[in-house]
């Protein structure tokens, strides 16, 4: 484990149809999309463990022909472990990373806490839906979606209170924290679009503090995208433009 | 681990709204629905390990008031470990069971094989969709659904060929096998409804043999529901009747 995080270029150009597959050079490789919350899970796990790896960003609208040879589902993330040996699906890659890199274990060894971490990850669905709605038609957010969203926030806050630790993982973030984070981060970025999703209020004091601490975590901040960039992406998207490379050189 | 499987009554009456919660008597308890493929995962894991437990079957149409105190999602399976201490979601319960009962480990210790098991579990989605379609409108099954279904069958067969073992788990079924089984079992029960889903043909020779061997596995056969019962359930369902207790005393 390196003393400092390896310098990873997260902002490589997104390869598209017709672009050749960069030859595998023996370094662990993540097939990623810079703004994909699922792929972010894999990136956060690798960053938490300070593993050195390379990022191959992929244009998910105009997909390169070779993508399905890396993920049978043609999606990101995929993790290439050896030349042509690839696993995919966000939690599958993170579980593998946690299995093979022993430094800073992400999953607790306590079976019951481990189960509750997984339950929270399952429970994040309504927050994922809310992120989609905020990105699409924020004015159309209805009561059932809000109820489900706040029910998930209740579950997260209750679990934090039960554990009495700064993070679900303890004194620093762990599996549960990083696996639900990408959508909490996007709620922060999008919440101005509909005030009904705001959780910075007395009822969610602990949750709001937790989210604030998460934004300050170096593993998280290292990969964070600014509100300005997200606003630009969203503005482009509304005009029918998906500019994957807004952060790239 | 008992020499023989404990005698579990799987066919208890399905409790509904108004029915009291049976007091917890200290025995591990599964909140189940007799024909739920997700809850079947939990049952198969417990049966594989010959754990003694009790089944509380739940009417999922007319749900008992206390169900949400066992699963925040109001679903089955839920696993009650101690009085009021419950975990839920099928894979969460199975992972917990595999963590705390060391006999007959279901998950391989090899991280890469473990990853491929999880990928196959993710990949079962189109087979789950096909089961739903066969149970609902079998004549409306279209090419995209069939393509996705056969692509999943390809993935399973390729993995069996790669491992060169009788089951994904090796000489006996393991995690991958039991976690995808409930839907393969239902394909067998429903496939007469649309000949296009048939996979008993030369291309799927290994898969067909594998499925046959799975039906003969004692853990599977112990909980299997006959084609006649499933046909009766489906007939009832088409007439607007959901008879959860067709197998109960």
Residue B88, domain CATH: 3.40.30.10
C-alpha A167 chain-centroid distance:
17
Residue A226 counted as domain residue: no
| Average pLDDT of the residues in A181-206 | 96
Residue B184 counted as domain residue: yes
* Whether residue B52 sits in one domain with residue B137: no
Three-state secondary-structure class, residue B14: coil
pLDDT of residue A247: 81
Task: Report which secondary-structure segment, H or E, holds B41.
Answer: helix B37-48
Residue A80 counted as domain residue: yes
Question: Which domain-ending residue is among A84, A106, A128?
Answer: A106
* Whether residue B138 sits in one domain with residue B115: yes
Percent over 70 (pLDDT), chain A: 98
* Whether residue B212 sits in one domain with residue B116: yes
* Residue reference for tokens 């003969």: B216
CA distance A99 to A42: 13
Structural domain range at position B76? 1-106
pLDDT band of A5, cuts 50, 70, 90: confident
* Whether residue B144 sits in one domain with residue B61: no
A96/B111 CB distance under 8 A: yes
Residues from B contacting A (CB-CB < 8 Å) are 72-73, 81, 85, 87-89, 91-93, 95-96, 99-100, 111-112, 114-116, 118-119, 122-123, 151, 155
CA distance B225 to B147: 28
pLDDT of residue A3: 62
pLDDT band of A121, cuts 50, 70, 90: very high
* Whether residue B59 sits in one domain with residue B22: yes
* Whether residue A89 sits in one domain with residue A9: yes
Residue A233 counted as domain residue: no
Residue B195 token pair: 């000949």
pLDDT of residue B2: 55
Q: What are phi and psi of B80, to 5 degrees?
A: -95, 120
Contact call for residues B30 and B43 (beta carbons, < 8 A): yes
Contact call for residues A49 and A101 (beta carbons, < 8 A): yes
For B175, which DSSP code? Answer: H
Interface confidence (ipTM) of the complex: 0.94
CA distance A124 to A184: 9
CATH of the domain at A153: 1.20.1050.10
* Whether residue A156 sits in one domain with residue A204: yes
List the single residue in B with minimal CA-CA distance to A115. B92
Predicted confidence (pLDDT) per residue in A21-62, tens digit: 999 999 999 999 999 999 999 999 999 999 999 999 999 999
Residue A244 counted as domain residue: no
Query: Mind telling me the catalytic residues of B?
Result: 36
* Residue reference for tokens 């481990």: A114
* Whether residue B134 sits in one domain with residue B75: no
Going by C-alpha positions, the residue among B89, B87, B73, B86 that lies closest to residue B36 is: B89
* Whether residue B8 sits in one domain with residue B92: yes
A118/B88 CB distance under 8 A: no
* Whether residue B148 sits in one domain with residue B81: no
Percent over 90 (pLDDT), chain A: 87
Could you tell me how many residues make up chain B? 249
pLDDT of residue A149: 98
Domain count, chain B: 2
pLDDT of residue A154: 97
* Residue reference for tokens 């000949």: B195
Residue A76 counted as domain residue: yes
Residue B44 counted as domain residue: yes
CA distance B246 to B59: 12
Q: Which residue ranges in chain B fall short of pLDDT 70?
A: 1-4, 249
* Whether residue B138 sits in one domain with residue B190: yes
Which three-class secondary structure string do you get for chain A? CCCCCCCCCCCCCCECCCCCCCCCCCCCEEEECCCCHHHHHHHHHHHHCCCCCEEEEECCCCCCCCHHHHCCCCCCCEEEEECCEEEECHHHHHHHHHHHCCCCCCCCCCHHHHHHHHHHHHHCHHHHHHHHHHHHCHHHCCHHHHHHHHHHHHHHHHHHHHHCCCECCECCCCHHHHHHHHHHHHHHHHHHHCHHHCCCCHHHHHHHHHHHHHHHCHHHHCCCCCHHHHHHHHHHHHCCCCCHHHHCC
Contact call for residues A80 and A165 (beta carbons, < 8 A): no
Output the CA torsion sign for B147, B153, B156, B162: negative
Q: State pTM to two decimals.
A: 0.95
Q: How many CB pairs under 8 A join A and B?
A: 64
* Residue reference for tokens 């969460």: B92
- Residue from B88, B97, B115 to probe the interface with A (highest A Cβ count within 10 Å): B115
Predicted confidence (pLDDT) per residue in A72-92, tens digit: 999 999 999 999 999 999 999
CA distance B132 to A79: 32
Which of A30, A36, A124, A131 is flagged as catalytic? A36
Chain B residues with CB inside 8 Å of A88's CB? 119
Three-state secondary-structure class, residue B30: strand
* Whether residue B100 sits in one domain with residue B138: no
Residue B95 counted as domain residue: yes
pLDDT band of A101, cuts 50, 70, 90: very high
**Mean pLDDT taken over chain A:** 95
């Amino acid at each position: 484990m390196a003393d400092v995080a390896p310098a990873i270029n997260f902002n490589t150009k997104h390869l598209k149809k017709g672009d050749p597959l960069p030859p595998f050079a023996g370094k662990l490789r993540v097939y990623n999309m810079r703004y994909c919350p699922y792929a972010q899970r894999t990136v956060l796990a690798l960053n938490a463990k300070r593993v050195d790896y390379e990022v191959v960003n992929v244009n998910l609208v105009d997909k390169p022909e070779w993508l399905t040879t890396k993920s049978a589902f043609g999606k990101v993330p995929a993790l290439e472990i050896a030349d042509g040996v690839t696993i995919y699906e966000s939690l599958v890659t993170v579980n593998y990373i946690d299995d093979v890199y022993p430094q800073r274990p992400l999953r607790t060894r306590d079976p019951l806490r481990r189960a509750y971490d997984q339950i929270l990850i399952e429970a994040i669905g309504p927050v994922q839906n809310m992120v989609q709605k905020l990105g699409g038609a924020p004015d159309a957010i209805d009561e059932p979606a809000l109820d489900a969203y706040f029910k998930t926030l209740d579950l997260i806050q209750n679990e934090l209170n039960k554990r009495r630790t700064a993070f679900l993982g303890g004194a620093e973030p762990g599996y549960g924290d990083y696996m639900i984070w990408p959508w909490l981060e996007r709620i922060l970025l999008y919440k101005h679009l509909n005030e009904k999703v705001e959780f910075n209020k007395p009822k969610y004091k602990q949750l709001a503090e937790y989210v604030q601490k998460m934004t300050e975590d170096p593993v998280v901040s290292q990969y964070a995208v600014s509100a300005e960039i997200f606003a630009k992406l969203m503005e482009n998207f509304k005009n029918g433009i998906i500019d994957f490379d807004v952060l790239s050189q």
